[in-house]
A and B are shown apart, each in its own frame.
Chain A
């Protein structure tokens, strides 16, 4: 029965009308479209606002994503007038130091592109070299293809993409994965968006040895390191999200901690802040248990300076 219904052109998947189906026939050339209403209908602003409020800093990244959102919206309205502009290529490359929010932004991006009708499902498949490259001859192609099939309709996020190419070993199977990836990026542009991520300098050398990859990526977005004030803001947001708050006298201690930690090796921006908060939680808990006796709600939720001051960062 559903076969007949389908033939008559009624959508077979209820509850998920694609934008192409929802849009009426081509508008006459003199028609007017309310862009603001169009924008409200796509619900893209909710994602953009969440991006603004939940992610601290990252101004260049946010600007670029707003630009992309505007382009897709305008393209959609142009499509309603019957102007064919071709699908913009949205393959991207995120570069930046560890912990600058590349993965987090990729998740938001998938959601945003889905709301704007650029991709059909809006899920994010996050992979690394291990998921794409096989261990023996003939193993790589099926493995890479399977990952690509899983990512179709969504965003494929390849973390530390430069590991795919090993310059020192010309028989490395990574090259094969790159070739398949390039082919799909070119031919199935309608089906998925590929986002490569990694540290800036290593991505640059990856692109210089794979010029085909670089030219197929339209958007190179650089994630800047956070300022101390931004890191502090992130720390406050993280503690609040886990149901803690900083005592007023803790705040200068946290700032001091972040200042010192930034100067030390292996500093990973927001990730280091999260680790600091996790360790402060540990010390907070053991302090309460050691003190014994009764505790109030206040005690349970307040991080005090000594929770941070016990850190190795202050002794070094």
Chain B
């Protein structure tokens, strides 16, 4: 099952050149970029690991791509996303966030139903990959 999170997730994978163009767009608007990775892509897991600090004062996407490739080398089987933060007063939020790497095999999610009193049902999504310990979930 293909995880669809963030911008562009219904499109074919972006090439490095296309990622560079998106980063250039963000930098032109003064949004600093940051790189994050995880092996727990549950939709409610908003806190991914940071790959270094957010990159401030960059003018050119080459610097972001350099870090991205470093991160890919270190975690070849993790989900990696690229965030661009708009610090403008009145917005102060992530303006653009998209996946730039995903594992080769994505087992997907199981839907658990918990029956409660009065025929109520609680639903939980559970990543198959999360059954294995951290670091061994995708390879």
A residues at B contact (CB < 8 Å): 2-4, 6-7, 11-13, 120-121, 123, 142, 146, 148-150, 152-154, 188, 190-192
User: Do A149 and B22 touch across chains, with their CB atoms under 8 A apart?
Assistant: no
**B18 adjacent to chain A (CB < 8 Å):** yes
Whether A152 pairs with B21 at a CB distance below 8 angstroms is no
Q: Say which residue of B18, B52, B66 sits within 8 Å of A6 (CB atoms).
A: B18
- A149 and B55 within 8 A (CB): yes
B131 at the interface (CB under 8 A from A): no
Q: Is the CB of A153 within 8 A of B66?
A: no
Most chain B Cβ neighbours within 10 Å, of A142, A149, A153, A188: A149
Q: Which of A3, A6, A13, A149 contacts B58 (CB 8 A)?
A: A149
Report the bound CA distance from A23 to B57 in whole Å: 30
Residues on B with C-beta less than 8 A from A120 are 60, 62
Chain A residue at minimal CB-CB distance from B8: A3
Kindly state whether residue B49 has any CB partner on chain A within 8 Å: no
20 CB-based A-B contacts, threshold 8 Å: A2-B25, A3-B11, A6-B18, A6-B21, A6-B22, A7-B18, A11-B21, A12-B24, A120-B60, A120-B62, A121-B60, A142-B52, A149-B58, A149-B63, A149-B64, A152-B62, A188-B66, A190-B62, A191-B60, A192-B62
Sorting the interface of chain B by its residue count into under 10, 10 to 19, 20 to 34 or 35 or more gives 20 to 34
Residue pair B18, A149 in contact (C-beta under 8 Å): no
Q: Which residues of B contact A123 (CB under 8 A)?
A: 59
Q: Among the listed A4, A13, A192, which residue makes an inter-chain contact with B28, where contact means beta carbons less than 8 Å apart?
A: A13
Q: Which of A2, A7, A150 contacts B59 (CB 8 A)?
A: A150
Q: How distant is the Cα of A121 from the Cα of B63 in the complex, in angstroms?
A: 13
Q: Smallest Cβ distance from B2 to chain A, in angstroms?
A: 16
Determine if B67 is an interface residue (Cβ-Cβ < 8 Å): yes
- Give the 3 A-B CB pairs with smallest separation, nearest first: A153-B60, A149-B63, A12-B21
Residue among A2, A7, A12, A149 making CB contact with B66, cutoff 8 Å? A149
The answer on a CB contact under 8 Å between A148 and B63 is: yes
C-alpha spacing A152/B61, complex, angstroms = 8
Q: Which residues of A contact B8 (CB under 8 A)?
A: 3
Contact B58 A12 (CB under 8 A): no
- Whether the Cβ atoms of A12 and B62 lie closer than 8 Å is no
* A188 & B62 in contact (Cβ 8 Å cutoff): yes
Shortest CB distance A152–B (Å): 4
Of B11, B14, B60, the contact of A152 (CB 8 Å cutoff): B60
Task: List, in ascending order, chain B residues with CB within 8 A of A190's CB.
Answer: 62
How long is the Cα–Cα vector from A123 to B66 in the complex, in angstroms?
A: 19
Q: How many whole Å from A139's CB to the nearest CB in chain B?
A: 13
| Complex CA distance for A198 and B8, rounded to whole angstroms | 48
Contact B67 A149 (CB under 8 A): yes
Residues of B within 8 A of A150 (CB): 57-59, 63
B 2-39 to A, binary, CB cutoff 8 A, 1 in contact else 0 = 00000110011010001001101100100000000000
Query: Which chain B positions have C-beta within 8 A of A13?
Result: 21, 24-25, 28
A11 neighbours in B (Cβ, 8 Å): 21
Taking a contact as CB atoms closer than 8 A, the residue among B25, B52, B55, B62 that contacts A153 in the complex is B62
CA gap between A220 and B7 in the complex, in Å: 47
Residues of B contacting A121 with CB < 8 Å? 59-60
| CB-CB contacts below 8 Å: B99-134 with A | none
Docked Cα-Cα span, A6 to B7, in Å, equals: 14
Chain A hits for B63, CB < 8 A: 148-150, 152, 191
CB distance from A111 to the nearest CB of B (A): 14
A154 cross-chain contacts in B, Cβ below 8 A: 59-60
Q: Mark B41-65, 1 if CB is under 8 A from A, else 0.
A: 0000000000010010111111110
Residues of A within 8 A of B60 (CB): 120-121, 152-154, 191
Q: Say yes or no: B25 contacts A12, CB within 8 Å.
A: yes
Q: In the complex, what distance in Å separates the CA atom of A300 from the CA atom of B125? A: 79
In the complex, what's the smallest C-beta–C-beta distance from B41 to chain A, in angstroms? 20
* Chain B residue at smallest Cβ distance from A187: B66
Instruction: List residues of chain B with CB within 8 A of the CB of A12.
Output: 18, 21-22, 24-25
> Which residue in chain B gives the minimum CB-CB distance to A190?
B62
